[in-house]
Structure 1
Amino acid sequence: MSALPSGGVIPELFRELFDDAAVFPPGNLPVVEAVPAHRAHRAAWYAEAVGPFLCGAGRLGELAAAVSTADTDGGTAGADGSAVAGDRPLKVGLVLPGGSTELAPALAAAAPFELAGVELATRDAAEAVAALDRLLPPDVPAAVELPRELLRGDGLDAVLDALVDSPYRAKFRTGGLVAEAFPDEDELAAFLTGCARRGLPYKCTAGLHNAVRHTDPETGFEHHGFLNVLLAAQETDRAAAAAVLAERDGEVLAKAVRSLTDRQVTVIRNSFTAFGTCSIAEPLGDLAALGLLSSPSPLHQEDR
């Protein structure tokens, strides 16, 4: 990546990195507003950076109604009646916080959409893998999330070992609405390097919508930066990964990104596949400010 692409071209490192979690905290955008906003993202110059629209299982009916309303107000629908974003079916990532019991009914309720993936929260990785094997269509990817307290000490190895021989990714929560929801550098480094040593891909969620590690001035929460995580994803040594995660100088991180080879970018993105963010404009704005993304036009508030 020594030469970044010209304006309006999304570098490979950032393609489909930002899953649209606008309806989740702390954004909490109403679904009826989030649908047209997502469609706008998918039609914008930065569309290649945007992943699927994330929706909880309990809100699929609300999502279907919002899509229907948008279609009535000037959107389009597929020939088979499927929900369409622009001229394509709405890609939905299904988030199942209630575990595998939600899987079958949620898959049925998601039928009007193009199912881009499933994110299943569980306390039993082996049970979750078995449920996904049994119920998930073979062309649909999935990620399995366990509570962080089960990923400490020997628990981390046991969970990752349960996933490594499956076709599913791991999912790790990097933030939330309280300070305790944010793992420190060492805890996150243990997860990243555990996955790296096993060749296990993963996604992250919460608290990562800024590029660089920082302390939120309003809440005092310690946020990881998504650039830190991207660069740490290539590390197999826990201390080295923790050092990258602790870096707070954006220019240092930007320089490291610019020095990445194509092979390193491939290794990184085969590991760290995506993260959920309630804002699409914020991470893009951070990349532009660091000179890592050149936009053909400024990012406006309405792009959020």
Structure 2
Amino acid sequence: MSTAPAASGAAVVPPLFQGLFDDAAVFPPGNLPVAEAVPAHLAHRAAPYAAAVGPLLCGAGRLGELAAAADAVTGPAGGTEADGTADGTGPRLRVGLVLPGGSSELGPALTAAAPFAVAGVELATRDAREAVAALDLLLPPNVPAAVELPRELLRGDGLEEVLDVLVDSPYRAKFRTGGVVAGAFPDEAELAGFLTGCAQRGLPYKCTAGLHHAVRHTDPATGFEHHGFLNVLLAAAETDPKAAAEILAERSGAVLAEAVRSLTDRQVTVIRNSFTAFGTCSIAEPLDDLAALGLLSPDLTSQEDR
């Protein structure tokens, strides 16, 4: 996989990282105020590394706050982005709707999101079939969605049942890879089971929480074991749980970086068709990690562009 600048001399975001980082700045542990998150997100989307940045994620209960913040920054219609044009009002802010309250939030959230270009829906549920039915009924055409179930329901046969439901639908799976307590972080075997279960079925997925850094590590402040997003990317193509767990356990950035450089274009396509994105409350941290590992041009991550 090439990480060299384009022929024109301009640095580019390699395909492996394009659209990988959904902006979850308003969620824990970042908890950036919405009024600050909107201009920060627009700055990300105008920066040289913009191709790496996905939509701004927002919970259902904060859409009114988000609309007010967007209007304050850009005027009515809430955006200056190039995609997601509204009829007669110009471009709109691209937003991913995060619905922790389940299917009952879907209809009201879609209505409240009218000022924005809805780039996706992430629906938490305890019933995958019910969630699929609600999405089939209410989701606008061409809006992707991901379905998240509590991890305790994905153990044993529960994982197989949920993945089988989703593989017969147009929707992705969503898996929580961290949080604000130690128990929110799955170990290598649990995450490997999810990744390989999806790979065996050709089921795409996104992850959320705990993946701010590229390489697996122990957080010195909390003692929590964090998965690295490079580990997850490299494990995404595996169908053998043991092999995937070994990749997830790797703590050497040099080893992971070399593995990334050895990927073929076809392997990159397979990986990103599986692991589509993850939510991160920091856009800067993952980009800085990639630059430090030599996988992203420093020209894309200069502080003056943050």
One-letter identity of the residue aligned with 1:175: G
Deviation of 1:2 after TM superposition, in Å, equals 4.5
SS in 2 for 1:105: helix
- The correspondence for 2:183, drawn from 176, 180, 187, is 180
Cα distance in 2, alignment partners of residues 113 and 3 from structure 1? 34
Distance 1:205 1:301, change over 3 A: farther
Distance 1:297 1:137, change over 3 A: closer
**1:206 lines up with 2:209 in the alignment:** yes
- The correspondence for 1:83, drawn from 78, 81, 87, is 78
- The correspondence for 1:222, drawn from 210, 221, 225, is 225
Identical-pair percentage: 78
Distance 1:263 1:297, change over 3 A: closer
Cα distance in 1, alignment partners of residues 80 and 215 from structure 2? 31
SS in 2 for 1:162: helix
Deviation of 1:68 after TM superposition, in Å, equals 1.0
Note if contact 2:217-2:226 (Cα within 8 Å) is conserved in structure 1.
Answer: yes
**1:241 lines up with 2:226 in the alignment:** no
Cα distance in 2, alignment partners of residues 223 and 216 from structure 1? 7
Specify every segment of 5 or more residues in structure 2 that has no aligned partner in the other structure, as ranges: 83-90
Cα distance in 1, alignment partners of residues 79 and 241 from structure 2? 43
Cα distance in 1, alignment partners of residues 212 and 171 from structure 2? 24
Deviation of 1:302 after TM superposition, in Å, equals 7.5
Cα distance in 2, alignment partners of residues 125 and 104 from structure 1? 17
Cα distance in 1, alignment partners of residues 105 and 273 from structure 2? 28
**1:285 lines up with 2:281 in the alignment:** no
**1:261 lines up with 2:264 in the alignment:** yes
Note if contact 2:48-2:305 (Cα within 8 Å) is conserved in structure 1.
Answer: no
Note if contact 1:190-1:238 (Cα within 8 Å) is conserved in structure 2.
Answer: yes
Deviation of 1:185 after TM superposition, in Å, equals 0.2
SS in 2 for 1:159: helix
Deviation of 1:145 after TM superposition, in Å, equals 0.1
Deviation of 1:301 after TM superposition, in Å, equals 8.2
Note if contact 1:123-1:146 (Cα within 8 Å) is conserved in structure 2.
Answer: yes
Cα distance in 2, alignment partners of residues 68 and 2 from structure 1? 40
Q: Aligned pair count?
A: 295
1:112-151 → structure 2 map (5 Å cutoff): 112-151=115-154
TM-score of the two chains, using structure 1 as the length reference: 0.95
One-letter identity of the residue aligned with 1:225: G
Deviation of 1:4 after TM superposition, in Å, equals 3.5
Deviation of 1:190 after TM superposition, in Å, equals 0.1
Cα distance in 1, alignment partners of residues 33 and 302 from structure 2? 22
The RMSD of aligned alpha carbons is 1.3
TM-score of the two chains, using structure 2 as the length reference: 0.94
Deviation of 1:138 after TM superposition, in Å, equals 1.7
Deviation of 1:51 after TM superposition, in Å, equals 0.1
